[in-house]
Amino acid sequence: MEIKVIKDVLEANNYIACKVKEEIAKRQAMMINIIGSPGAGKTSFIVKTIQYLDIKSVVIEGDVTSDIDSRKVAEFGIPVVQVNTGGGCHLNANIIDLALQELSSSAENAIIFVENVGNLICPASFDIGEDFKVVISSIPEGHDKPYKYPAIFEKAKVTVLNKIDLMKYVDFNKDYFYEGVLTLNPKGHIFEVSSILGDGMKEWTRWLKLQFMKKFNR
Ligand SMILES: Nc1nc2c(ncn2[C@@H]2O[C@H](COP(=O)(O)OP(=O)(O)O)[C@@H](O)[C@H]2O)c(=O)[nH]1
Ligand SMILES: [Mg+2]
What pLDDT, in 10s, does the model give residues 175-207? Answer: 999 999 999 999 999 999 999 999 999 999 999
Q: What is the pLDDT of residues 99-118, one digit of tens each?
A: 999 998 889 999 999 999 99
Q: Hey, whose CA ends up nearest to atom 2 of ligand 1?
A: 163
Measure the CA–CA gap between 54 and 45, rounded to whole angstroms.
16
Pick the residue whose CA is nearest to atom 23 on ligand 1. 39
Q: Which residues line ligand 1 (CB under 6 A)?
A: 36, 38-44, 118, 162-163, 165-166, 194-196
Q: Which domains does the chain have, with CATH numbers?
A: 9-215 (3.40.50.300)
Tens of pLDDT along 24-64? 999 999 999 999 999 999 999 999 999 999 999 999 999 99
Which protein residue's CA is at the shortest distance from atom 3 of ligand 1?
163
Q: Spell out which residues have Cβ within 5 A of ligand 2, the ion.
A: 42-43, 69
The neighbouring-strand residues paired with 80 are 59
Cα of 193 vs centre of ligand 2, distance in Å, is 16
Alpha-carbon span 128 to 206, nearest angstrom:
25
For the entire predicted model, the pTM comes to 0.96
- Give the Cα separation of 142 and 67 in Å (integer): 28
Contact of 88 with 125, CB cutoff 8 Å: no
Distance 17 CA to ligand 2 centre (A): 23
Kindly report the backbone phi and psi dihedral angles of residue 113, in degrees, each rounded to the nearest multiple of 5, phi listed first: -95, 125
